[in-house]
């Protein structure tokens, strides 16, 4: 019995010839080469997959960014257009106010009470007072538009609103007193000319 086991153990599992053994070796090498080729192809496929995923991510980012900016720019254009129109209106209003103020300024600068003759004193005085009142009315009417200006020349503490408050906020007595104070110089001039006129008339007689 031991001899039989020894004989079986010495029997090879594959009884191949040298040619068959070489052919098997070639097949093993071929399988290994195919496995290596498949591995390289798998790596190439994974790299291609990563590249496509990156392209897809960038494309999604492009679409999202494009859609976001289209919406923001569209809404911003509406705001810019509205601001431009309001700015143009503002400029037109400022030009009109400038022209009006300049006209009233020239009219007031042209008032020269010393050049009035005693005979023309009442008429010239009425014209001068009318010019002052017209200038004041235009000034007060324009203060609401000018108060929008936030420049250093029109601060809340020194704006026209502090000098000439809106008419609705004060009583008639306030405006009566203000008008009397504003026209005080002209009234004094009128009284002086009136006295001169009376004196001239009395002396002439």
- 30/90 Cα distance (integer angstroms): 87
The model carries a pTM of 0.44
What residues make up the domain containing 89?
27-110
Q: Which of 57, 75, 110 is the last residue of a domain?
A: 110
Q: What is the pLDDT of residue 143?
A: 84
92 and 126 in a single domain? The answer is no
96 and 125 inside one domain: no
Number of structural domains found in the chain: 2
CA terminus-to-terminus distance, the chain: 182
Residue 197's contacts (CB-CB under 8 Å, 6 or more residues apart) are: 118, 119, 121
Comparing C-alpha atoms, which of 104, 125, 145 is closest to residue 192? Answer: 125
Shared domain check, 120 and 106: no
- Euclidean distance between CA atoms 9 and 133, whole angstroms: 136
93 plus 35 within the same structural domain? yes
The pLDDT tens digits of the residues spanning 72-112 come to: 999 999 999 999 999 999 899 889 999 999 999 998 888 88
User: Does 9 map to a domain?
Assistant: no
DSSP, collapsed to helix, strand or coil, labels residue 17 as coil
Which of 52, 81, 110 terminates a domain? The answer is 110
**Residue 144 located in a structural domain:** yes
9-49: pLDDT as tens digits: 444 445 556 656 667 777 888 888 888 889 999 999 999 99
pLDDT digits (tens, 9 = 90+) for 152-185: 444 444 444 444 444 444 555 555 556 655 566 6
């Amino acid at each position: 019995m031991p001899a039989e086991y020894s004989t079986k153990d010495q029997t090879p599992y594959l009884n191949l010839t040298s040619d068959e053994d070489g052919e098997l070796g070639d097949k093993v090498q071929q399988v290994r080469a195919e496995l290596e080729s498949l591995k390289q192809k798998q790596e190439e496929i994974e790299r291609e997959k990563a590249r496509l995923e990156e392209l897809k991510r960038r494309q999604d980012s492009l679409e999202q960014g494009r859609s976001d900016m289209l919406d923001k720019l569209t809404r911003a254009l509406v705001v810019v257009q509205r601001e431009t129109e309001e700015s143009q209106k503002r400029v037109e209003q400022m030009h009109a106010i400038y022209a009006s103020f300049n006209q009233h300024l020239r009219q007031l600068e042209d008032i020269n009470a010393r050049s009035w003759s005693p005979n023309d004193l009442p008429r010239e005085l009425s014209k001068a007072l009318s010019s002052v009142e017209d200038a004041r009315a235009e000034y007060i009417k324009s203060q609401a538009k000018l108060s929008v200006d936030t420049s250093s020349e029109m601060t809340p503490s020194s704006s026209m609103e502090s000098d000439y408050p809106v008419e609705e906020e004060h009583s008639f007595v306030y405006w009566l007193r203000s008008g009397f104070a504003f026209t005080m110089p002209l009234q004094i001039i009128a009284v002086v000319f009136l006295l001169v006129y009376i004196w001239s008339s009395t002396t002439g007689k």
